[in-house]
Structures are given as structure tokens and as C-alpha cells.
């Protein structure tokens, strides 16, 4: 292992401490090394607070002069809620800055590294780049496409069913898996389900099994069939709920607005919410990450149109048979040559379940 790789791995470990806490900023870690010893390190802990480089510089103090800096993302070169990190590094007199990847933010986009170079600081970019990109996929997608990063999650039986023939799905997965799902909810800006899931399950779509913030709840309901009595429209919960619809009748809107929910009017695609338009509108609202929890029709449409970036499947040691519900309602695939392939497959045991993560091959090709 090279020295650069060694210290970038440490910076990545630090960056991961900030995941889910820095929105709308990326998670970043920084390590400062002098004479083979780490003299400063830090990570971005929350939006509006010091960036990783500043925390590391404060720890290093005057020893930062002449030191090497390892940071998972190119230092910023613009003034936002905090001053530019590139300027702080220049003032500290560091000798060399190694970045894991460049920053796709148009306000940076190479500007941080150029500022360092112009000040006579040696720079290098691209150490463990794939790993650095992986921890900020939602930020990168938002910055390059204006759309949120979409993760589809579902629990299913060993024979691939998300519910029995009656629609019963509580509980397929074990408690340990459900805790992970609640962590995923807390780490995403929004959680989305279709109206059929709301009607069938009346879910709360909140973070309960861990400490964390509730994401915005989005219901995809083309014709506004959501009952006013459901949990996500009750009391204060309604204020954190948005209904995406093609319905334009103000009289129909009124009952949901009165409850305190928000409505998002989207273009129609054969009578259904146009999911491309929905993701563009959610991106316009500043939503970087979206957790899709079903149902199978919504998931099938999203997968078919190439809108799912990552899937997380929890397989439980149960079988319900062929008349249960599948995770994706799609038709028209007549042979394996036309199936949707996946890549970046990872598996691990969670309680009594097996957790599988994978990305559609189309998304992998965009990296």
C-alpha cells in the first residue's frame, strides 16, 4: 500500500462519520501528515459548520506549515456559509495537497486545486477516487444532473415476494434489518411510496428504531386517492408530507391542503405521474437523496425508466409461494438477453436476514 493510499483511507474513514449529517454539503474527511506522523485530522460534521480541512488545521496548529494534506474531496474555493478551505490551506503554508476527487460543484470544479497550485502548493487528485465518489453518490448525482439519488429498498422472502397474496408484509424482515432501514430513512432527504402502499399498509414513514431526523414523506398519487384518515396526514405529520399528482382540480386539492400537506403537480405519462418530471421537480426543491420504499408498480416503473440508482434487498428465510407479490411489477421481458442487469453486488448477514446491495448496470456505466 502506498503512503498516499494509507492516509486517504484514513480520510475516508473520517468522512463516513459525517454521512447523513452534512446535507446539502458532501461528507468529507481530511488528514494532515508531517514527517510520517498524523498531526491533524477532521471531518465535516454538519452543514454550516467548519469543513474537514478547517478541523484538521485547527488540530495541527503551526505544525501544518510544510505538511502534506489528504482530503477526500477537492478543497472548496468559494465562500458559502464558511470561507474557502483552499485559502485556509494556503495561509497555513502546507506543502502538498492530495485530493481523492475533484468537486463537481460548478462553484468549485477544479478552482480549489488551481488556487493551491497558483500559491505554489503541489497538488494531486485521484487517490482512491472510486471510494471517494461512493460515499457522496447523492451529492455527485445532484450536482451533475439536478436530480436526487434514488435508492430502492424492499424486504422479501427467499422466493422473491414482498407480500403474501392478501398483501400482508408485516413483518418479512427481522428487527435488525428494520433498524438499518430506519438508518437509511434518516440518511435520506425524502422517502417515497405509491398510493397503493399508503392504502394497503397505512405506514408512518418515520424514523423510530434509531435517533435521527424524519425525511420528507412523498406519496405518488396520480389521481389523489389518498384517504384523508391515513397516518401521514394526521396532525403534525401532514406538514412533512407531500403528494405528487397529476390532478389539477383545486377543489380536490383543498382537502389535503387543509390537512397541512403539500401538493406537487407533475406532468402526466399515460395518466400517471411522469417520474422523470417528478425527480426534476424534487431536485429543484433541493432534494439530493430519495429512498423509494414501494410499491411494486412504482418500483417497476422507476426501474424500467432507469431512475433507480441503487437497490437494497433484505432476504428473509421465509417462503410464501407463487401467488405473492414481486418487488417489481414489469412486463414485456421475454428472454434473459433483455433482462436488467446489476453490478456492484454486495452481501452481508443482518440478524436472520441477508442484505444485498446492487446497482443497475446502466448506473455503473455512468460512474
Edge-to-edge strands, sheet with 149-157 = 262-265, 241-245, 216-220, 190-194, 289-292, 149-157, 310-316, 353-360, 342-350
**Active-site annotation holds for 41:** no
The catalytically annotated residue of 41, 53, 247, 293 is 53
Decide if 289 contacts 189 (C-beta within 8 A).
yes
The residue assigned the cell 422466493 is 159
Q: Output DSSP code: residue 26.
A: P
3 state DSSP class of 251: helix
The residue assigned the cell 497538488 is 123
Decide if 182 contacts 210 (C-beta within 8 A).
yes
Alpha helices (H) along the chain: 3-16, 52-60, 85-92, 111-118, 129-134, 137-145, 175-187, 195-201, 250-259, 275-284, 296-304, 361-364
3 state DSSP class of 194: strand
- DSSP H or E segment with residue 69: strand 68-71
In DSSP notation, 264-298 reads EE--EETTEE-HHHHHHHHHHTT--EEEE---HHH
Distance CA 245, CA 321 (A): 34
Number of neighbours of residue 79 by Cβ within 10 angstroms: 10
Residue 171 — φ and ψ, nearest 5°?
-115, 135
Decide if 276 contacts 255 (C-beta within 8 A).
no
Decide if 43 contacts 12 (C-beta within 8 A).
no
For the record, the C-alpha cell of 272 comes out as 400517471
Active-site annotation, residues = 53
Amino acid at each position: 500500500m502506498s503512503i498516499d493510499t494509507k492516509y486517504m483511507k484514513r480520510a475516508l474513514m473520517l468522512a463516513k462519520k459525517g454521512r447523513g449529517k452534512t446535507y446539502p454539503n458532501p461528507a468529507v474527511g481530511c488528514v494532515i501528515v508531517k514527517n510520517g506522523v498524523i498531526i491533524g485530522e477532521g471531518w465535516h460534521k454538519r452543514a454550516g459548520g467548519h469543513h474537514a480541512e478547517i478541523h484538521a488545521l485547527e488540530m495541527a496548529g503551526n505544525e501544518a506549515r510544510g505538511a502534506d494534506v489528504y482530503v477526500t474531496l477537492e478543497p472548496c474555493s468559494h465562500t458559502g456559509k464558511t470561507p474557502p478551505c483552499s485559502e485556509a490551506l494556503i495561509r497555513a503554508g502546507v506543502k502538498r495537497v492530495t485530493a481523492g476527487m475533484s468537486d463537481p460543484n460548478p462553484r468549485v470544479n477544479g478552482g480549489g486545486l488551481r488556487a493551491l497550485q497558483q500559491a505554489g502548493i503541489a497538488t494531486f487528485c485521484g487517490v482512491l477516487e472510486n471510494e471517494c465518489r461512493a460515499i457522496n453518490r447523492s451529492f455527485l448525482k445532484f450536482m451533475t444532473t439536478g436530480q436526487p439519488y434514488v435508492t430502492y429498498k424492499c424486504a422479501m422472502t427467499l422466493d422473491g415476494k414482498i407480500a403474501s397474496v392478501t398483501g400482508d408484509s408485516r413483518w418479512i424482515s427481522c428487527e435488525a434489518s428494520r433498524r438499518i432501514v430506519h438508518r437509511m430513512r434518516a440518511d435520506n432527504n425524502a422517502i417515497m411510496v405509491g398510493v397503493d402502499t399508503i392504502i394497503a399498509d397505512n405506514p408512518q414513514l418515520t424514523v423510530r428504531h434509531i435517533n435521527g431526523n424524519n425525511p420528507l414523506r412523498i406519496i405518488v398519487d396520480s389521481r389523489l386517492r389518498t384517504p384523508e384518515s391515513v397516518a401521514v396526514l394526521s396532525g403534525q405529520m401532514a406538514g412533512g408530507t407531500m403528494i405528487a399528482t397529476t390532478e389539477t382540480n383545486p377543489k380536490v386539492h383543498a382537502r389535503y391542503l387543509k390537512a397541512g400537506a403539500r401538493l406537487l403537480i407533475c406532468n402526466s405519462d399515460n395518466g400517471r405521474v411522469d417520474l422523470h418530471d417528478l425527480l426534476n421537480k424534487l431536485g429543484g426543491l433541493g432534494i439530493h437523496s430519495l429512498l423509494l420504499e414501494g410499491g411494486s408498480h412504482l418500483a417497476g416503473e422507476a426501474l424500467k425508466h432507469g431512475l433507480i440508482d441503487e437497490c437494497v434487498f433484505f432476504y428473509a428465510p421465509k417462503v410464501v409461494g407463487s401467488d405473492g407479490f414481486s418487488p417489481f411489477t414489469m412486463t414485456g421481458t421475454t428472454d434473459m438477453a433483455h433482462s436488467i442487469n446489476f453490478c456492484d453486488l454486495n452481501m452481508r448477514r443482518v440478524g436472520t436476514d441477508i442484505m444485498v446491495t446492487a446497482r443497475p448496470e446502466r448506473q455503473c456505466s455512468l460512474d
